[in-house]
A and B are shown apart, each in its own frame.
Chain A
Amino acid sequence: MSETQRKGRVLPVTDLSLVVLVGASGSGKSTFARRHFKPTEVISSDFCRGLVSDDQNDQGATRDAFDVLHYIAGKRLAAGRRTVVDATSVQQDSRRQLIELAKKHDVLPIAIVLDVPEEVCAERNAARTDRADMPRRVIQRHIRELRRSVRHLEREGFRKVHVLRGVEEVANATVVTEKRFNDLTHLTGPFDIIGDIHGCASELESLLVKLGYTDGVHPEGRTAVFVGDLVDRGPDSPGVLRRVMGMVEAGSALCVPGNHENKYGRFLKGRKVQHTHGLAETIEQMEGESDEFKQRVREFIDGLVSHYVLDGGKLVVCHAGLPEKYHGRTSGRVRSHALYGDTTGETDEFGLPVRYPWAEDYRGRAAVVYGHTPVPEATWLNNTICLDTGAVFGGKLTALRWPERELVDVAAERVWYEPARPLRTEAPGGHDGRPLDLDDVHGRRVVETRHSGRVAVREENAAAALEVMSRFAVDPRLLPYLPPTMAPTATSHEENRGGAADGHFLEHPVEAFAQYREAGVERVVCEEKHMGSRAVALVCRDAEVAGKRFGVDGGPTGALYTRTGRPFFDDETVTEEILGRVRAAADAAGLWDELATDWMLLDAELMPWSLKASGLLRSQYAAVGAAAGAVFPGVLGALQGAEARGVDVSALLGRQRERAADAGAFTRAYGRYCWPTDGLDGVRLAPFQILAVQGRSLAAVPHDRQLALIDRVVEHDGTGLLQTTRRLYVDTGDPESVRAGIDWWLEMTGRGGEGMVVKPVGALVRDGQGRLVQPGVKCRGREYLRIIYGPEYTRPDNLERLRKRFLGHKRSLAIREYALGLEALDRLADGEPLWRVHEAVFGVLALESEPVDPRL
């Protein structure tokens, strides 16, 4: 008796697979399953029979029971869990269904056969009360069918077949879990993932040197990972193969197959393939190689695994991209997908298949790095990146450093092969050649943000945003950002604050400072609130930059738009004049070079308020002022008349005098923010943040540095258009500093100022629990708030009621919009396609239509 026999057979079972136990009734399948698998991994047909009929032996319930069994198994396999089916499975038809199920979920079907003598089965059944009356012929039939099937199991589609003969072998067997070939999650790199090479051996050597490899080995032990398409088209496919194979054999590289290796491998095996798409070149170049080398190549290609899951599951590398449901799966379909990608079935005007844009739908956790489709630049899209930058077509050879996520590339030495389709294409909608699609914005959506997770947009809000965006907004290409709403400071509840004679405030800086102190923010900046209209300015250095970077032709050098994306001025020459002045000031301040950019996106306030809000001013604010102004003379006159006649109206008269005074204060309050303009005369623009420049979001640049940059621009403006923002820095932990902040606000609002915005100096800040801190809270002046809460809001009984306001929704809205705004800036900076930027911008607009108290 050999060692193995004594110790029992060892049965390797893949960690993600569908295990089918095959054996007659009474052969010990359930016992075997219990011993070798987790109870939750095993689904038995008897159990399912019981589920649907209350009787585990009700043969009439078999069909329904197997429906349930297949359903549960399907769910488990979809979730990536190994599943063991405990049913007799002696008939080919029942096994066929299970094999289909495994294929459907791209896992390996494995058969374990328990071939136990008929007497043993019968004995065991007899010992069980529920099966005691099972006819002997049933067991006989089972065993007959089993013996007939055993030889065909592999042909049926099982990728592993373990046959255990006899009671003893069944009893002594052990099951070991085996990893899938594609599961290299234990390798953490670091990796250098290299894009499609296509025989560009010289460029490959340059890139390896640039990455720090010496003769295929990295001194720091980094691992190269090749995404495939090593061969065809280029000048030296054998050279590339030699290098890559050497590195893989030496353990300093991994390689997944591309469709070109696959085809060449088929050629090497003697299959008939067309010598097109550069294969002819490879065949010719290989003619000079030894048979031994050819044999090595053939074995190398044969042994390539379709894709790899690396670095704890955080990284997936394959040739043509892979949707998440195929990660780590094993089937012909997965291999085909990994090699060729998905196509829509259409062909484009160059006769090439139109690729299905799978990455647009990708929402997976793992980063997918791939090649296959030549693109002008490697850019991240939904955590996926294509590294095929067309080296053989005269583009470049690109590598991605992981986990650093740095791109390293070398330019092609020449155009080695003429592409069938130009690398760069022209189509409306930007560089990605894909115009905005309704599916990018319509209906209920969830936008993934890097700073605050998933942000949901409801359908009705998206519908309203669609109307406004479509009918009123500037060209979406010039609309890469919309500013988020801002929450006010917590409502003031403290009466008679020290120093303030009139302590009746609805909003007061004390709460704002306290709020940030509690969030762990030590230093805040108080910025004067300009009572104008929020404006975002996209300023390009010239029309050519606007055309090149933002894809708009016809001369605009940027855009100036409102909080909902509408152009500020109907007349584009006025817009251009403003952009021109900002540009000139930035020129003079030397900002373009300093920021290494040829465009910038500015957050600003445009004054006067009356410029944009004149409709609202007339229909609402001035109208109320006019009504109040006209009614009180009569009211007071009547009351004075009555009083003169001896009627006691003193309380009423006193109150009406106060009301009249409130109404007067109200009229003065809005009047401060109105002045006539003529063309640009009287128009002021106060930028307060540079949101983004070429390649960078500046949202995390501290506000002191931001304001210093902007001050310099304002200084260099000779036209009087630009205006600075007054500010004061406050240490939230220092009572004296807080006092100074309050005094500053009291002084400013006492003169009729709108108030201030308190922001963490650090700009993009998180609290102790890692959540985003409000990027700013507004603290509005007592007089200004008359415009919001009505002329008489300061009356004590009104204030008391108004203090019952709820900020929760507004704060949550402010953070969600902030996250979307940041996301838009990051996507813009990363050079992501227009639709990706637009998705986040659209989200901000949609959220603005959520029901929240508009006075907050």
Chain B
Amino acid sequence: MFLTITTTGTPERPATDLGFLLHKHPEKSQAFSTSYGTAHVLYPEADTQRCTAALLLEVDAVALVRRGKGKGRGGAPDAALAQYVNDRPYAASSLLAVALSSVFSSAMRGVCTARPERAAEPLPLAVEVPVLPARGGPDLVRRLFEPLGWAVTADPVPLDPEFPEWGDSRYVRLILESERLTLAEALRHLYVLLPVLDDAKHYWVSSDEVDKLLRAGEGWLVGHPEQKLITSRYLSRRWSLTRQAMERLELVRLAEADDSAVEEIDNAVADETGTEERPTPLAVQRRDAILDELHSSGAARVLDLGCGQGQLVQALLKDPRYTEIVGVDVSVRALTIASRRLKLDRMGERQASRVKLVQGSLAYTDKRLKGYEAAVLSEVVEHVDPPRLPALEYAVFGAARPRTVLVTTPNVEYNVRWESLPAGHVRHGDHRFEWTREEFRAWARSVAERYGYDVGFRPIGPDDPEVGPPTQMAVFTMSSTATEPTGTTTETSSTEGGTTGTTTEKEATAA
């Protein structure tokens, strides 16, 4: 990783004063040991008119990974996250920021005994960072630096010239130019904003990060239009993200086994930036519709199948009529978040006894789900590959057999009414399909017929005369005549107990 700082000068104010300001002699190449490798400071050019200081940090990638193996602080939390194939040796990241602050610590504070007046005044500066990881792209780079008085050039770096179809990388070649800033200000901007742009998840530096941010941001962070983003990115790249990473190591490894990026597999919980998180009016309407139907079903013992982060469970808990609420999800991470959201560990015993969160999967029958009065599958079926839907149908309607089943799913016809949704796109990356009203009803009716349920339908959200509502709900009620599903035979069940001993005449002679 590498950056250069260039200034220009005149015989009265020689550019080589940069050496004094940085406390590094222009005629030498100096090396400094930092925690992740050796930093070198040298001057490719140094005369009265023009002087450039270069900072080169030789990152020891092997040490970076191996350090991560330990249990202690520093480094990545697990070897699985620490890659030898790593951009850290090449790209400007928090490691470079740390090197910057340790190699140029006095300059960053604006201290210069040899040229105190020059340290305090603005000077013509050009900073070049050839490889800057920039999450948010050139646009965000400009939004971060321009308000501080920099003229910004940010050119994206292509991923691989051999494969133009891959497009640009997340790196930009950054050139900052200004004549209005002191060197100390420039260094402090870099110190904070390089890691903010990198937004790296797996590195954290120390626990007094807030203080450091306040110190380095003094005089410019307050009032910066992107202050909120800067602060949250700068601080959030530590514990919470490390903790998240720790929560999904098994999935990381499974992704790796498949040469996949972990995000392809570990996507059961939407990122904060995703669309799912903000409580849209539609999500509220959906919840209300579900609560309404549950209420009229008279159910007290309820399953939330695919409970996600537990929003519905939370709503059910508020109503004492629900005496037993079981949230089931296949994602351990979603359940962890749900448990945190519900504050299960701090809940009073009486409340806690009403609710249970368990990992489960509707691809399998599950005897724990038997004997409930109602089950909700809210925005679940569209996350299942169509060939695997019959297994879900059997698990819910054939094996668990609650008296009432509520199923909600998007109505694809309504998608044309979403302004932000490009034509032909599904609403969520993990949706395996989205149904029209007719498709949904056909499916629901066939399930109802096969398993002995009656089914009715209910729109959720504004019922558009042309394309229908955004969300559709099916309300299944077990037919009064139905006791056993048809088309199935030996229903294997419960391992509990094991009836032994007396055998009735009927059993005895049945074989």
B332:A463 contact, CB within 8 angstroms: yes
Docked-complex contact A649 and B79, CB < 8 angstroms: no
How far is A650 from B47 in the complex, measured between Cα atoms in Å? 21
Which of A466, A641, A667 has a CB less than 8 Å from the CB of B361?
Answer: A466
A336-B502 in contact given A441-B364, A626-B171 (Cβ < 8 Å): yes
Q: How far is the CA of A628 from the CA of B493 in the complex (A)?
A: 59
Judged by a CB distance under 8 angstroms, whether B28 is at the interface is yes
CA–CA, A452 to B355, complex, Å? 42
* A608-629 to B contact mask, C-beta < 8 Å, 1/0: 0100111111111111111111
Which residue in A467, A622, A645 is a CB contact (below 8 Å) of B251? A467
From residue B508, how far is it (CB to closest CB) to chain A in Å?
5
Do the beta carbons of A645 and B45 come within 8 Å of each other?
yes
Contact: A554 with B387, CB < 8 Å? yes
**Are A566 and B257 in contact (CB-based, < 8 A)?**
no
Tell me which residues across on chain B come within 8 A of A640, comparing CB atoms.
44
**Given A340-B508, A361-B495, A476-B363 in contact, is the A627-B261 Cβ separation under 8 Å?**
no
B492-A262 in contact (CB<8A)? no
Interface string of B391-428 (1 = CB under 8 A from A): 10011001100000000000000000000000000000
A428 with B390: in contact, given A626-B159, A789-B84 (CB under 8 Å)?
Answer: yes
Pair B498/A671 contact, Cβ less than 8 Å: no
Q: State which residues 447-466 of B face A: CB under 8 Å.
A: none
Question: Which residue in A320, A438, A626 is a CB contact (below 8 Å) of B366?
Answer: A438
Contact with A along B198-237 (1 / 0, CB 8 A): 0000000000000000000000000000000000000000
A822 to B398, CA, bound (A): 33
> Which B residues lie within 8 Å of A798 (CB)?
61-62
Asked whether B261 lies within 8 Å of A616 as measured between CB atoms, the reply is: yes
Cβ contacts under 8 Å, A625 to chain B: 159-160
Contact present for A464 and B395 (CB under 8 Å): no
B78 at interface by CB-CB < 8 Å:
yes
Judging by beta carbons under 8 Å apart, are B169 and A626 in contact?
yes
| A333 CA to B503 CA, complexed, in Å | 10
A42 to chain B, nearest CB (A): 30
Q: Min CB distance, A673 to chain B, in Å?
A: 11
- Kindly specify which of B138-146, B311-319, B480-488 makes contact with the partner chain: B480-488
Tell whether B388 is near chain A: CB-to-CB under 8 Å: yes
* Size category of the binding interface on chain B: 35 or more
Complex: how many Å from CA A381 to CA B367? 22
What are the residues of chain A within 8 A of B364 when measuring CB–CB?
435-438, 440-442, 470
B169 touches A435 (CB 8 A): no
Residue pair A667, B160 in contact (C-beta under 8 Å)? yes
User: Does A630 sit within 8 A of B, measured CB to CB?
Assistant: yes
A431-471 toward B: CB 8 Å interface, digit per residue (1/0)? 00111111111100000000000000000110111111111
Given A435-B394, A465-B254, A790-B85: A630 in contact with B130 (beta carbons within 8 A): yes
Of listed B63, B256, B364, B498, residue having the most chain A CB within 10 A: B364
Taking a contact as CB atoms under 8 Å apart, the answer to whether A262 and B87 are in contact is no
Contact of A349 with B503 in the complex, beta carbons under 8 Å? no
Q: Determine the distance from Cα of A849 to Cα of B249 in the docked complex, in whole angstroms.
A: 8
Inter-chain CA distance A47–B423, complex, in Å, is 85
Q: By the criterion CB–CB under 8 Å, are B44 and A631 in contact?
A: no
Q: Mark A274-307, 1 if CB is under 8 A from B, else 0.
A: 1011010000000000000000000000000000
- Closest residue to A646 on the B side, CB-wise? B27
Known interface pairs A337-B500, A645-B45; A616-B391 also in contact (CB < 8 Å): no
Question: If A634-B130, A790-B62 touch, does A624 touch B80 (CB 8 Å cutoff)?
Answer: no
Chain A residues 129 to 180 lying within 8 A of chain B, measured CB to CB, are none
Q: Which residues of chain B come closer than 8 Å to A472, judged between CB atoms? A: 265
Give min CB distance, A705 to chain B, whole Å: 29
Using known A-B contacts A259-B511, A434-B490, A463-B332, determine if residue A630 contacts B28 with beta carbons closer than 8 Å. Answer: no
Query: Bound complex: CA of A437 vs CA of B52, how far in Å?
Result: 69
CB-CB under 8 A for A631 and B487, given A373-B511, A463-B359, A475-B388:
no
Q: Given the complex of chains A and B, what is the CA–CA distance between A327 and B261 in angstroms? A: 52
In the bound complex, residues from chain B placing their C-beta under 8 Å from that of A612 are 258-260
**Is B46 on the interface with A (CB-CB < 8 A)?**
yes
| A652→B508 CA distance, assembly (Å) | 89
Residue in A closest to B45 when the chains form the complex, CB atoms: A641
- Cβ contacts B61-84/A at 8 Å (1 or 0 each): 111001000000000001110011
Please name the residue on chain A nearest to B170 by beta carbon: A623
A468 to chain B minimum Cβ distance, whole angstroms, is 5
Give the dominant DSSP class at B's interface. mixed
The interface residues of chain A lying within 8 Å CB-to-CB of B165 are 676
Report the minimum CB–CB distance from B429 to chain A (whole Å): 12
A421 CB within 8 Å of chain B: yes
Min distance, Cβ A321 to any Cβ of chain B, angstroms: 11
Within 8 A of A (CB), among B19-34: 27-29
CB pair B90 A627 closer than 8 Å: yes
Name A322-348 residues within 8 Å CB distance of B.
Answer: 333, 336-337, 339-340, 342-346, 348
Which parts of A778-827 form the interface with B (CB within 8 Å)?
787-793, 798, 801-802
Contact A647 B80 (CB under 8 A): no
Minimum distance in angstroms from B137 CB to a CB of chain A: 14
| B365 A435 Cβ-Cβ under 8 A | yes
Q: Which residues of B contact A262 (CB under 8 A)?
A: 508
- CB <8 Å contact, B44 and A638: yes
Contact A615 B131 (CB under 8 A): no
Whether A372 sits at the interface, judged by CB under 8 Å, is: yes
A-chain residues with CB within 8 Å of residue B489 when the two chains form the complex: 348-349, 421, 425-427, 433
A-contacting residues, B494-511, CB 8 Å: 494-495, 498-503, 505-511
A45 at the interface (CB under 8 A from B): no
Instruction: Check: A776 CB closer than 8 A to any chain B CB.
Output: no
Q: Are A336 and B171 in contact (CB under 8 A)?
A: no
Q: Which of A276, A554, A631, A649 contacts B2 (CB 8 A)?
A: A631
Q: Which residues of B contact A642 (CB under 8 A)?
A: 29, 42-44, 54
Instruction: Assess whether A766 is interfacial by the CB under 8 Å rule.
Output: no
- B260-A616 in contact (CB<8A): yes
Instruction: Establish whether residues B507 and A343, one from each chain, have CB atoms under 8 Å apart when the complex forms.
Output: yes
Is A562 an interface residue, CB under 8 A from the partner?
yes
Q: Is B157 an interface residue (CB 8 A)?
A: yes
Closest to B489 in A: A425
Q: Roughly how many angstroms separate A207 CA and B207 CA in the complex, as a whole number?
A: 81
For residue A623, which residues in chain B have a CB less than 8 angstroms away from its CB? 87, 159, 169-171
CA distance A533 to B259 in the complex (A): 8
Q: Take A634-B2, A647-B28 as given contacts and tell me if A470 and B43 are in contact as well, using a CB distance cutoff of 8 Å.
A: no
Q: Which listed residue (A229, A556, A854) contacts B80, Cβ 8 A?
A: A854
> CB distance A635 to B2 under 8 Å?
yes
- Would you call B438 an interface residue if the criterion is a C-beta within 8 Å of the partner chain's C-beta atoms? no
A427 — which chain B residues lie within 8 A by C-beta?
487-490
Residues of A within 8 A of B377 (CB): none
Does B250 lie within 8 Å of A460, measured CB to CB?
A: yes
| Interface: A855 (CB within 8 A) | yes
A45–B329 Cα distance when bound, in Å, is 54
C-alpha gap A637/B130 in the complex (Å): 12
Pair B511/A263 contact, Cβ less than 8 Å: no
Determine which residue in A789, A845, A849 has the highest number of CB atoms from chain B within 10 A of its CB, and name it.
Answer: A849
Report Cα–Cα, A773/B394, bound state, in Å: 42
Could you list 23 examples of A-B contacts with CB < 8 Å? Answer: A273-B505, A336-B503, A340-B511, A344-B493, A349-B484, A435-B391, A467-B330, A468-B254, A471-B268, A564-B257, A620-B85, A620-B261, A624-B90, A626-B169, A634-B4, A635-B54, A638-B52, A645-B27, A645-B45, A645-B46, A652-B29, A791-B85, A851-B80
Q: Apart from A348-B484, A466-B361, A793-B84, what 13 extra A-B contacts exist at CB < 8 Å?
A: A348-B489, A348-B490, A437-B492, A438-B368, A467-B331, A470-B361, A564-B258, A624-B87, A626-B158, A626-B160, A655-B58, A671-B162, A853-B79
Residues of B near any A CB (own CB < 8 A): 1-2, 4, 27-29, 40, 42-46, 52, 54, 56, 58, 61-63, 66, 78-80, 83-87, 89-91, 128, 130-131, 133, 157-160, 162-163, 165-166, 169-171, 173, 249-251, 253-254, 256-261, 263-265, 268, 330-332, 359-368, 383, 387-388, 390-391, 394-395, 398-399, 430, 484, 486-495, 498-503, 505-511
